[in-house]
Structure 1
C-alpha cells in the first residue's frame, strides 16, 4: 500500500502565502486529515535571482490519511485527467517506487483538483510499499488507487 505521501508547493514573492497554504490545506481537509493545516511546515528560501520563496510541505504517514488523500484526488479528477494519468502511469512511478503527481496550484485555490505539467504546482510524491520491493506490484497498487 502507501507508505507515506509528501506534498510540497512553492509560494513565490508575488503570491500570498496564506492563499497558497489554503490551496495545500484543500487537499488535506478533503482527505480528512485532522488538523492538516497545523502539519504544514514552512521554510524560507531564496530563488536563483535573490527572490524570496516560501516552501510549504507536509508528510502524511498515517494509513487513513494516505488513503484519504488518494481517494479524494482520484474522486475529483476529470475524465481527461484520468486518461492522461493512465497514459503516463508507468513513467510517473520511479525505481524507488515513488509515484509522482503535479496538481494544479491555481485550480486548488479555486477548490478544484486538476493535473498539470506546469512547474508551478503542488507536487505529490506517493511512496508505494511492497514486500519484497517490486516495481510491478507497486504499479498494480498505483493502478488500483488512481486508475
Structure 2
C-alpha cells in the first residue's frame, strides 16, 4: 500500500489580492495540528505587465502528518468532488506517483475544499511512495480506503 511522503501546495497572490488572505487560504488546507510544521515560503515575481505577483509555496514532509493532511482534504471535499477525483485519477497521477489536485482559492479562504473549475486556485501535489513500485491501482486503493473510512 502506498504512503504519502510529502505534500506541497502552491498559490499565486496577484497585486489585487491581499497576501495574508492567500496565506490563510493555503494554510487552511493543513489541519491545525500540523500547521506549525508546514514550511511556507513567499517568493516575489512579476507578471507580463510588470504587475507584482507573490508565489506562495507550502511544503510538509512526514508520513503521519502528510496522511493526516490527505485525509483532511478528502474529508472536506463534497461527495461529488470525491467521485470526480476518483474518476479522473489517471489524469491526475504522473509517472513519479505524484497526485495533482487543484482546489478553489476563495473556498479555501472560507474554510471549504472544492475542486477548482476556474483559474483562481491552489494546486496541491501529493507525493506518494510504494515499494517496489507505486502504481495507479495502488493509489486508487489508498484513496478508496481513505474515502471509505471517512464515510463510516
Specify if TM > 0.5: yes
Cα gap change, 1:35 to 1:134, in 2 (>3 Å): closer
Q: What are the Cα deviations for residues 23-42 of structure 1, in whole angstroms up to 9, with x where unaligned?
A: 111112x26214257x2111
Hey, what does 2:6 align to over in structure 1? 4
* RMSD value, Cα: 1.8
Change (3 A) 1:46 1:145: farther
Deviation for aligned residue 1:133:
2.1
Name 1:86's counterpart in structure 2.
Answer: 86
Q: Deviations over 1:10-56 (max 9, x none)?
A: 1011000000001111112x26214257x211100111221111011
Counterpart contact for 1:2–1:66, Cα < 8 Å: yes
Match of 1:138 in 2: 139
Q: Map of 1:20-35 to 2, 5 A cutoff?
A: 20-28=22-30, 30=31, 32-35=33-36
Instruction: Give 5+ residue unaligned stretches, structure 2.
Output: none
1:113 aligns with 2:113: yes
Q: Matched residues in 1 for 2:35 and 2:102: separation?
A: 23
Whether the aligned pair in 2 keeps the contact of 1:32 and 1:68 (CA below 8 Å) is no
Give the match's secondary structure for 2:141. helix
What is the number of equivalent residue pairs in this alignment? 145
Q: How does the TM-score come out when normalised to structure 1?
A: 0.89
SS at match of 1:112: coil
C-alpha separation in 1, matches of 2:15 and 2:147: 34
